[in-house]
Amino acid sequence: MSISTHCDAGCNQAFTFEDFSFEQLHDGTEKTFFTCPHCGHEYAASYTDEEIRKLQARIRRVQRRFADPSDNHEDAANKEAELQQQTKEKMDVLRQRIEGDGDHAGV
């Protein structure tokens, strides 16, 4: 999958990238990011820790319920939305803890 974007915090050139890069930070935190090939500016897409990765795994398990026609899809959708909200809140807190204040553009 190719993603097209432009370097709005660096050289302002358009570029396409294929894959995200990953970096292990402290305390089991993982940073997912991509880098401008022109100027090297790095854009953090997300940060996860053990708790967030467990929530993401739970979301994937709930999503598999949609493949079963006899499962309660409304219940699965509600559970998925709840877990996604919890994940987003925890990811926002983690990003704030790591990056601090300021404007941080995402993908």
Residue 104 falls inside a structural domain: no
What integer pLDDT is reported at residue 101 of this predicted model? 61
Instruction: Count the domains in the chain.
Output: 1
CB 62 within 8 A of CB 76: yes
Residue 27 falls inside a structural domain: yes
Each residue's pLDDT tens digit, 12-69:
999 999 999 999 998 899 999 999 999 999 999 999 999 999 999 999 999 999 999 9
Domain that holds residue 29: 3-99
Q: Tokens 């409304």 sit at which residue?
A: 74
What integer pLDDT is reported at residue 10 of this predicted model? 87
CB atoms within 10 A of CB 43: 20
Residue 62 falls inside a structural domain: yes
DSSP state, 9?
T
**CA dist., res. 11 & res. 7, Å (int):** 6
What integer pLDDT is reported at residue 60 of this predicted model? 97
